Amino acid sequence: MDFEYKIEGDDFTNAGAASSAVKKMLNQVGVRPDIIKRTVVALYEAEVNIVVHAYRGTIKIDIDEEKIHIRLEDEGPGIPDIDRAMQKGYSTATPRVREMGFGAGMGLPNMKSNADSLVVTSEVGKGTTVEITNYFN
């Protein structure tokens, strides 16, 4: 099964919609609850990062009998130092975003701890790609 979602930057009203749809889908196909939870947490963090930091993005989801693979590509400022961005508490969120309860600097660390595989690539001035894979067994 393949699915695709479009995300708009600064659209906090719909932040999490793709994550909710994926949760429902994984429940319907009988994926274990612990895997669903980990997958949805990682996806939600990545989805919110697009809303917070990028102009727009695309989420592509591929589910087969062994795994779920999620690829998020955004058009945005990019991440100059991925290693630094992976540190808990590091954030480049604006004060406005923090006032809304986002931008605590836990997005990438939460993705990493809830994914069997996490690959982050970025080009400053162009955008970021995040790939999350979780296996069903």
| Mean pLDDT along residues 8-15 | 96
- Identify the pLDDT of residue 103: 87
Q: Is 77 exposed, middle or buried (0-12, 13-18, 19+ CB in 10 A)?
A: middle
Mean pLDDT of the chain: 95
Helix, strand, or coil here: 91?
A: coil
Nearest to 42 by CA among 54, 34, 32: 34
1 CB neighbour count, 10 Å cutoff = 9
Whole-prediction pTM value?
0.94
Sorted by where each starts, the structural domains of the chain and their CATH numbers stand as 2-135 (3.30.565.10)
